[in-house]
Homo-oligomer: A and B are copies of this chain.
């Protein structure tokens, strides 16, 4: 032990090449097996040049340096959060190499599923969880000052029309409203035109207020105005809070660290509560972000990690997609997938908005 300590002290804090290789081997093995890795395994499977005893010494040093830990005295070692952090940091420093073949697959998978402007967020989460086999989240952040671009009433049948409100930032909503049955398509269009002229460029909040004050509006009856005001305020409320979609959260049950139902439940309950889920996600506008273990600040997520990539919605608006799973995660692959999906989303949203 005293030898180990002196060696560690002597050998400096940053790892020499062999230590690093061994550490990476331990991480790699543990990521695949979820079983504490013994010195013999490393010497056999990875670092054939040295005996298990040598590896043992190195692993002992790595433990002292805080990169490995033992569940109990006579078990193999498992990587600490610090080790994952080191690993991820090297990955992040390298330029992305999303394995073009896989990236292509991602894009195909992605575009085959994400079609409706409406539910991009949900589809994306679905795609991501399918691809990674982890829980996936997609976040469309709060957009406070959405401006109305256009507003349209489309006849649906006797006395009803579909109201469509289009805003910048790609947010579109529709809702059924009752109108006087005398209205035909042309008069609805005329009203839509007047309304659009009058309301375009104003925020949803303003629209709500404007319609509430003018009870009657150049030909449109009060009922319609009220319905529109109602919908605008509802949209303002909805877009005023973050839209977040989670998918594949029960993938967690496939990982041995969650063989305990109690743990799985704790994990899932965090994902279920919007506020707690949001608190896990970092803010990113460029590159990728990874939060590991305690970095998330939620005790239930102590041994989890979240990997996130941003996507751009409008000019200054950024959304976020992410994957949540056990800290033992094939980061390289996950980072690649997220990078590709983020890019694809930016492209898609740019097209929808611009």
Q: Which residues of A are in contact with B by a Cβ distance under 8 Å?
A: 115-119, 149-150, 152, 154-158, 160, 162, 164, 166, 172-176, 185, 189, 193, 196, 234, 249-250, 253-254, 258-261, 264-265, 268, 272, 351-354
| Binding site secondary structure of chain A | mixed
Report whether B250 and A261 are in contact in the complex, using a CB–CB cutoff of 8 Å: no
Knowing A154-B166, A189-B189, A264-B253, say if A160 contacts B258 (CB, 8 Å).
Answer: no
Question: Given A155-B150, A162-B166, A164-B164, are A118 and B265 also a contact pair (CB < 8 Å)?
Answer: no
List, sorted by A's number, 25 A–B pairs whose CB atoms are closer than 8 Å.
Answer: A115-B175, A115-B234, A117-B174, A149-B156, A150-B155, A150-B162, A152-B164, A154-B164, A158-B354, A160-B352, A160-B354, A162-B164, A162-B172, A164-B164, A164-B174, A176-B351, A185-B193, A185-B196, A250-B250, A250-B265, A253-B264, A258-B261, A261-B261, A261-B264, A264-B264
Shortest A267–chain B CB gap in Å is: 10
Q: A118-B119, A152-B164, A158-B354 are in contact. List 17 more A-B contacts (CB 8 A).
A: A115-B175, A119-B119, A149-B156, A150-B154, A150-B155, A150-B185, A152-B154, A154-B164, A157-B354, A162-B164, A162-B172, A164-B174, A176-B352, A185-B193, A250-B265, A253-B264, A258-B261
